[in-house]
Chains A and B, each alone.
Chain A
Amino acid sequence: MSSWTPTAPRPAPSNTVGFVAWARANLFATKLDTALTLLAFTLVVYVVEAIFGWAIIDASFTGDDRTACLKEVQGACWPFIEAKFGQFIYGRYPDAERWRVDLVFLSGLIGLIPMLMPNVGFKRANMIYLLGFYPIFAFIMLNGGMLGLATVDTTDWGGLLVTLVVAITGIVASLPLGILLALGRRSDLPIVRALCIGFIEIFRGVPLITVLFMASVMLPLFLPDGINFDKLVRCLIGVALFSSAYMAEVVRGGLQAIPKGQYEAAAALGLGYWKTTHLIILPQALKLVIPGIVNTFIGLFKDTTLVLIVGLFDLLGIVQLHFTDASWATPETHITGYVFAGAVFWLFCFAMSRYSIFMENHLSTDRTSS
């Protein structure tokens, strides 16, 4: 009987590894590939050059008014952003009180960053801080009127502050509401199911502008005299309800993908409905639909710009508002403002997108991940 010894591994042939091999295989494999590669390359160079020229080479960086941005060949008018930066971030929030907003931003980041890092412990304490303490703290700090803080009316809030308040409230409220709606829609109880379907279909079938408009103009007509919500609060409620209807459908997609066997195994182990849902079904269903959830968050974040319709000035709204400032009227003011606003929105959305990819990989438990 002869014994079997496995063959020792050899290194891969040198012409299949390294950059040259990679480029040959992926960029220049055929004549058509080569042509497309060159064309794409030319296009990229052209676009990058144009952007670089506009944003840097031909741009103005210093100045106190429009005269700084009236060169013969004028690129971006950055002094406009510089001069208005405070307005763009805080709106008409009084200068002397802006530290309160900074403090709210900062304390939010302090809670959020460890929360987003899966390996940092104390998740429960962190959660209590973010969902229990922080909203109250942020409300007191931003609104004032107690603890010796001057009241700052929400009509004076604006810019990135309003964008973040609306978006974060929407995000935080829409996920749990959406989950409850999705569970309700699959419930065995006919009344619960009917209510959830009705809610979802109504809010999903109506444009957000309509919801916001109704919340700000129509709602007060139905409320008894004397009861009057703040306009911002009404918008927050409208946005939260609207996005939770979308979220419900995303979550339902995940719920439907969970095999029946999972429910049966949980039932056979003696787990009831809520324990099964919370321990077995939701962790798997939500993981499946992370891309959809983040997609909804991103959509919501950008939809916050619609609050302009009811007279609230979010980041984009306030940038547009300042286009009318005569002392900054130049041909490049608009485009510079839009590029700035776009870049800020993009930054937030891109961060969410990257984080979702990171989480998907982190939560993956199949063979490939270990």
Chain B
Amino acid sequence: MSDPVIRINKMNKWFGNFHVLRDIDLNVAAGEKTVICGPSGSGKSTLIRCINRLEAHQEGEIEVEGVTLDGSLKNLEEIRSNVGMVFQQFNLFPHMTVLENCTLSPIWVQQKSQAEAETLARELLERVRIPDQADKYPGQLSGGQQQRVAIARALCMNPRIMLFDEPTSALDPEMIKEVLDVMVELANEGMTMLCVTHEMGFARQVADRVIFMDEGEIVEENAPEAFFSNPENERTQLFLSQVLTH
């Protein structure tokens, strides 16, 4: 395996006195697809939000593509421009059209020209299969379409790593597939992906590795086949029996 692009070493985080993440060690290689699952409140969101410092960790190191996240603004900017993120609640900007949402970062962060940014945005909207919605506002789209816009918006930064925080949990069943299809395609193109999700089908199909978290710790990690067929830890077994029977 090549050098890891994300290297997390003995990372700890507290919310006040509450110890949310405990001694997290995690390495992600370039192009690797990692799925993170675990019960609610186990710290999955907090973990991936630490990677682009939407939450600051207090102990240990996080390194993304050789750049250390240590509160320096310059490092932070560099990391954020290489890491895209997709949220459970889409978080599109409601006062901007779909196209404006997508061109925002290329224009204002990467200093691309308007025309260049628009060409790029339209290309990516095509890739997430909504080229004809470019001039609508987010409020006029379905949930599945909004989430695909959010993916296109993140891809417009041309990131090398993508973080997904339960991208399909706020969607109706018939829309989940259209978002997962886009994600599978992205995975097949070689993007490095970290996904918090309970879509076990997706995990089986694309993940190189599944991580199970509980109480702020990484309890178990394994290749998907082994993870699902014979989980080692009893907490994992219990969790899987609950998720898979649904």
Which A residues are closer than 8 A to B by beta carbons? 259, 261-262, 264-272, 275, 279-280, 283-284, 287, 363, 365-367, 370
Contact = CB atoms under 8 A, between A and B. Distances in A.
A264 B104 contact: no
A189 B157 CA distance: 30
Contacts of B84: 268
Mostly, the A contact residues are helix
Contacts of B52: 267-268
Nearest to B106: A269
Contact of A284 (B77, B89, B95): B95
Contacts of B85: 265, 268
A370 B54 contact: no
22 contacts: A259-B91, A261-B87, A265-B85, A265-B87, A265-B93, A267-B52, A267-B80, A268-B54, A268-B84, A269-B105, A270-B77, A270-B105, A271-B109, A275-B108, A279-B104, A280-B93, A283-B95, A284-B95, A365-B139, A366-B137, A367-B139, A370-B136
A266 B95 CA distance: 13
Nearest to A275: B108
A79 B175 CA distance: 73
A142 B222 CA distance: 80
A262 B77 CA distance: 18
A245 B111 CA distance: 36
B92 to A, nearest CB: 7
Contacts of A264: 54, 87, 91
Interface in B74-119: 77, 80-81, 83-85, 87, 89, 91-95, 104-105, 108-109
Classify chain B's interface size: 20 to 34
Interface of B: 52, 54, 77, 80-81, 83-85, 87, 89, 91-95, 104-105, 108-109, 136-137, 139-140, 153-154, 157
A215 B104 CA distance: 45
A365 B140 CA distance: 8
Q: Which 9 A-B pairs have the closest CB atoms?
A: A265-B91, A261-B91, A268-B85, A365-B137, A269-B105, A270-B109, A270-B80, A366-B139, A270-B81
Contact of A262 (B80, B91, B109): B91
Contact of B104 (A262, A269, A367): A269
A270 B157 contact: yes
A292 to B, nearest CB: 18
Nearest to B156: A269
B45 to A, nearest CB: 11
B95 A365 contact: yes
A267 B140 contact: no
